[in-house]
A and B are shown apart, each in its own frame.
Chain A
Amino acid sequence: MRAFTYQRVHSPEEAAKAAAATPNARFIAGGTNLLDLMKLEIETPAHLVDVNGIGMDKIVATEDGGLRVGALVRNTDLASDPRVRRDYAVLSRALLAGATGQLRNKATTAGNLLQRTRCPYFYDTNQPCNKRAPGSGCSAIGGFNRHHAIVGTSDACIATHPSDMAVAMRILDANVETVKADGSRRVIPIADFHRLPGDTPHIEHVLAPGELITAVTLPKPVGGRHFYQKVRDRASYAFALVSVAAIVQRDGSGRVALGGVAHKPWRVAAAEQQLARGGKAVTDLLLANARVTEDNAFKVPLVQRTLDGLLLDARRT
């Protein structure tokens, strides 16, 4: 790990200012992803701004009937909040499907959104990777890419975003609230928060340097049956091969988003309008422009079958 200076701050504004004022600074909250990457010197911040002491750790009701989740609310606390379990079960399910008890106790709402890919070539500093070292090439294309993305990819990168939580937030139409160093605040719809790789896979989200996430808001509950089906190589503690988040209403309509298939949570408006027609109709549109490899072509039928199984459950109950 490279040496760094360390600073505790006491307000979101102070945090954003501190990060913007120091070259190569990063915020640290739970640290479960950042420290892992720092040990491997994939992340090499010169300065860490510890935001754990600045509050932002509460879940409160909003005026329009939704919830505002503080950026520092731990994954365990978000998953177990009675309001989330009752009204946003897909979010609770997604969080509980990720990581382990130990990690969920530390990992934060904002940090979960900002976790970096688990592409093995991103982690292997002996291999070229456009995300880690822009312009060096992509080892996953033509390499071992069973876990990699099949939609929204580019010739520069086929990495996936590893978050389960973000997939649930995507179908809940969550909004990300931030503060910048100049004190200005903005709200970013979750759909616009993460970027596709394009020619710049090292830029994964739309935050400006020093911009700090303060909260994620959930609109008022939409009802329906909530599902988060994660398919993985082990029964527990593994990243998704594919995951399907869905909210299905009594009339068969609903919302669908996928994890494990793209550089961001994957949702296509036209696809979920086909929900009443079954998994194949939805999958055909969701993954219409899929670019698969020999290793990960299985993800297309796997999405369809997972969705079919989930819709069967929705009809039964």
Chain B
Amino acid sequence: MDDHLNDAAPAQDIDTARRELLIAGALTAGAAALPGAACAQTPGATAPDKSATPAPVLSKVALRVNGQRYEKEVDTRTTLLDLLREHLRLTGTKKGCDQGQCGACTVIADGRRINSCLSLALMHEGAEITTIEGLGTPDKLHPLQAAFVKHDGYQCGYCTPGQICSAVAMLDEVQRGIPSHVTADLNARPLLSPMEMRERMSGNICRCGAYSNIMDAIGEVAGLSNLGSKA
């Protein structure tokens, strides 16, 4: 466990410093193009002071990932995604768009699927995170992992960890009776159907277009069959 404690590597400090320098340069170049920036009236809309680049701020965060406790000191700007990939070396979770549109970064935080790219690591103090590495192992795959393999639910595979984490939590949401946009009767228990699965998985994009096989894989685990090919 000791090797997980506060091991901010020198290499990361250098990367951070270099990025700050690049950002500062870009802002200086852009400053002249925005003469009106200084007259913002509310704190939320105030344009940044282009002359000063604030120094990075470090803060500690402790959380559990896939059952293991980690404590790290990170730049406050570190997203949960970057904590997982860059600090904990759990690179199964992918960075796609980094703005919440593609779902490649989906993880399960305290039982709920979220976009780890749109969440700060510090906001997960004490949380229990499950990533694709925590769902199954090569010897003992999670049923959804096995179903994705069986149904060829991918081509390049980049979206797959997010698809699987999302699907695991999605099936749980249906179990818990959470309705969706396409649920006909809001007051009845939602039932899984091809339309429900498509709507509920719309936050996970597959640019290879393996959707029909993904639907087959999830549908099989959910107790339905041949959903994608029927649709």
Contacts and interface: CB of A to CB of B under 8 A. Distances in A.
A236 B43 contact: no
Nearest to B119: A31
Interface string A180-218: 000000000000000000001011000001000000000
Interface residues of A, number: 60
B41 A134 contact: yes
Given A4-B77, A133-B47, A102 B36 contact: no
Given A24-B43, A25-B43, A133-B36, A4 B57 contact: yes
Interface residues of B, number: 62
A92 B188 CA distance: 13
Contacts of B28: none
Nearest to A4: B76
A134 B183 CA distance: 43
Given A36-B100, A41-B48, A89-B186, A105 B59 contact: no
Contact of B103 (A38, A92, A100): A100
A316 interface: no
B113 interface: yes
B90 interface: no
A101 B113 contact: yes
A135 B118 contact: no
Contact of A80 (B41, B47, B115, B177): B177
Contact of A6 (B59, B112, B169, B203): B59
A157 to B, nearest CB: 12
Contacts of B59: 6
Contacts of B128: none
Contact of B36 (A36, A126, A134): A134
B112 A1 contact: no
Nearest to A208: B42
Contact of B186 (A31, A76, A93): A93
B47 to A, nearest CB: 6
B146 interface: no
B180 interface: yes
B113 A136 contact: no
A136 B34 contact: yes
Interface string B181-215: 10100110000000000111011000000000000
Q: Could you say which of A2, A43, A105, A203 has the most chain B C-beta atoms within 10 Å of its C-beta?
A: A105
A102 B103 contact: yes
B106 interface: yes
Contacts of B123: 28, 31, 50, 52
A32 interface: yes
Given A86-B187, A102-B113, 15 more contacts: A3-B54, A31-B120, A35-B120, A41-B48, A44-B48, A48-B120, A99-B203, A102-B203, A103-B115, A133-B34, A133-B36, A136-B36, A203-B42, A203-B45, A237-B203
Interface of B: 20, 23, 27, 30, 33-37, 39-48, 53-57, 59, 75-77, 79, 98-100, 103, 106, 112-115, 118-120, 122-123, 125, 166, 169-170, 173, 176-181, 183, 186-187, 198-200, 202-203
